[in-house]
Structure 1
Amino acid sequence: MSTPHLSVQLYSVRQALGHDQDGTLARLAGLGLRNVEVFDFVHRAGELAEALDRHGLSARTGHAVLLSPPAHSAEGTAPAPTLEETFSAAGRLGLEMVIDPFVPAARWSDEKEIARTAALLNEAAAVAADHGIRVGYHNHSQEFVHSFHGVDAFDLFAGQLDPEVVLEIDVFWAAAGGYDVVALLERLGSRVRALHIKDGPIVEDPFSSGAPLDPATLGQVPPGQGRVPLDAALAAAPHATYAVIEFDHYGGDIFEGIGAAVGYLNDKGIR
């Protein structure tokens, strides 16, 4: 068993980044963080790499859309990046893993769509390998709603992935609806290379309803203060390389919430 490296998903501080990127990164570094997980990085990889370096931060994981073909862009917007562009940008940042963050609920209710999703990720992994990068998938809760022949949609999906594809399990979302996230991690074993560490109440899946999600209703709190079995989840994922702090929404000062999360993980030897 190895101890994962501490990281934070920059989406947690998206508003602060928009107002003051350098100040935000400096505050994260001041909390003792040395790694971050990036998002929306393809068209600003050079700028972001320089900013992270100025503050002694590294990005080894990042979120990018991989599982849908490039869409026609609206007039005046940048075209959707190709896989080659995505992995070239990832290489410039020094990423080890590029993780698709979300596949809509409708694609998890159809067995053929699940197979197509796995095939697309396997194809992306083959392109990424030429850049020395691995690809992965990050769950929410919609992947665990449906089952086929006694197997839930996420397990069905994972069973069709190339062994080189990694999984980043968001423990808050996997625990939604009372799903046994610890058993999931034990089943997936070495496929799990990153965890999203977040806490709060055990919510019901909000994605399958089709209604817009208001993250403020989730009630997320610093790790160790909610009902998600984080201690057991960490123990059940001995192959995870990164423990990534994330808040979809935080009701107080986000830097205080991240600081509390850093303290929780530091107490477990995760730095």
Structure 2
Amino acid sequence: MPLPLSVQLYTLREELADDRDRTLRRLAGIGYGAVEPYRPQDDPEGFRALADDLGLTISGAHCGALLDPRAVPEIFAAARILGTDHLIVPAGIPHEDFTTREGLARAAGTLNRLAEQAAPHGLRIGYHNHWWELEPRIEGRHALEVLAEQLAPEVFLEIDTYWAAVGGADVVSVLRRLGERVHALHIKDGPVLKGEPHTAVGQGRMPVPRILAAAPHAQPVVELDSCAGDMMTALAESHAYLTSLDPLETE
């Protein structure tokens, strides 16, 4: 695993709201080397200073507000302050757009226009999936894969491997087909059922080593939307599992 393990900070949204500095220090203490914020425009200067102090890099940033043209300049400025060139649309495109070719063309147009705006700033735009981009089939193919064909070359994908599985995908096969379009992976684990809490990575049903091997170039990002136990403990257990994997298993 050549890239440092990152954490999507939505995982720790409650802890961050209570004490941001302490939460990031605990993550760094576990051994994570990077983080993926979900509201980069919130105090980017202070966040960057703390991350630098802790030796944490910013692997990318989620920001649903990218779909609001009025918010885009502030988000681009925040990304430059944070030192990341990867901005990710995490949701917000209507679910029904993933059920028809016409809808997919609209979704692709939105992402392609954002990418065109971002390029002069040295930034790239990506899209993060949930289950509803995989569950619909367009002529027998996952809607997300049809979308990928309509995206400009500079638009990347961050594949949420768990949600892809919930959507009925063979995640390893999808990753192989998407290839270099995939820049990052959300690694999570659990029963692979809608509405059920997640587990620490390595304690659920996801074939994590095979997933990592299918996209060895992609940034691994741990994300747990919910968890039956303590979230920081689950992140520590996830880190221990992922760093214990035989490199040959993930190549």
Give the number of the structure with larger relative contact order, counting CA–CA contacts within 8 Å between residues 6 or more apart. 1
Pair 1:233 & 2:222 matched: no
Shift of 1:221: 0.6
The 2-side partners of 1:60 and 1:91 are apart by 13
Question: Could you tell me how far apart the structure 1 residues matched to 2:169 and 2:59 are?
Answer: 29
The amino acid that maps onto 2:108 is A
Partner of 1:258: 235
The more displaced of 61-70 and 40-49 is 61-70
Contact in 1 for aligned 2:15/2:23 (Cα 8 Å): yes
Contact preservation (8 Å) 1:128, 1:134: yes
Matched, 1:53 2:61: no
Residue in structure 2 matching 1:91, options 59, 72, 80 = 80
How far apart in 2 are the matches of 1:140 and 1:96? 22
How much does 1:68 deviate?
2.8
How far apart are the structure 1 equivalents of 2:210 and 2:33? Answer: 25
Amino acid at match of 1:152: H
User: Secondary structure at 2:5's aligned position in 1?
Assistant: strand
Q: TM-score, normalised by structure 1?
A: 0.85
Quick one: distance in 2 between partners of 1:202 and 1:16? Answer: 25
| CA distance in 1: counterparts of 2:165 and 2:4, whole angstroms | 22
How far apart are the structure 1 equivalents of 2:140 and 2:168? 18
Q: CA deviation at 1:44?
A: 2.2
Q: CA distance change for structure 1 residues 160 and 177 in 2, over 3 Å: closer, same or farther?
A: closer
- Structure 1 residue runs of 4+, over 4 Å off? none
2:79 match: secondary structure: helix
Alignment of 1:1-271 (within 5 A): 3-65=2-64, 68-70=67-69, 81=71, 83-102=72-91, 103-204=93-194, 217-240=195-218, 242-268=219-245
Which of the two has greater helix per residue?
2
Unaligned runs of 5+ in 1: 71-79, 205-216
My pick for the range that moved more, 260-269 or 190-199, is 260-269
Amino acid at match of 1:50: A
Shift of 1:110: 3.1
CA distance in 2, matches of 1:67, 1:60: 17
Quote how far apart the aligned CAs of 1:56 are. Answer: 2.4
Alpha-carbon contact 1:98-1:134 (below 8 Å) kept: yes
Whether contact under 8 Å (1:67, 1:117) holds in the other structure is no
**1:29–1:55 Cα contact (<8 Å) kept:** yes
* CA apart distance, 1:133: 1.5
Report the TM-score when normalising by structure 2.
0.92
How far apart in 2 are the matches of 1:92 and 1:239? 25
* Contact 1:66–1:124 (8 Å) recurs in 2: no
Distance (Å, rounded) in 1 between the aligned partners of 2:236 and 2:42: 29
Shift of 1:66: 6.0
Give the deviation of 1:170 after TM superposition. Answer: 0.7
Query: How far is the alpha carbon of 1:12 from its aligned partner?
Result: 0.6
Residues 67 and 120 in structure 1, CA contact (< 8 A), matched pair in contact too:
no
How far residue 150 of structure 1 moved from its aligned partner, in angstroms, is 2.7
Contact 2:86–2:125 (8 Å) recurs in 1: yes
Displacement of 1:151 in angstroms is 2.6
- 1:96–1:67 CA distance, 2 compared to 1 (3 A): closer
Tell me if the contact between 1:138 and 1:167 (Cα under 8 Å) persists in the aligned partners: yes
Contact 1:66–1:121 (8 Å) recurs in 2: no
Q: Conserved in 2, the CA contact under 8 Å of 1:200 and 1:228?
A: yes
How many residue pairs get aligned? The number is 246
CA shift, 1:67, in A, is 6.0
AA at the equivalent of 2:237: A
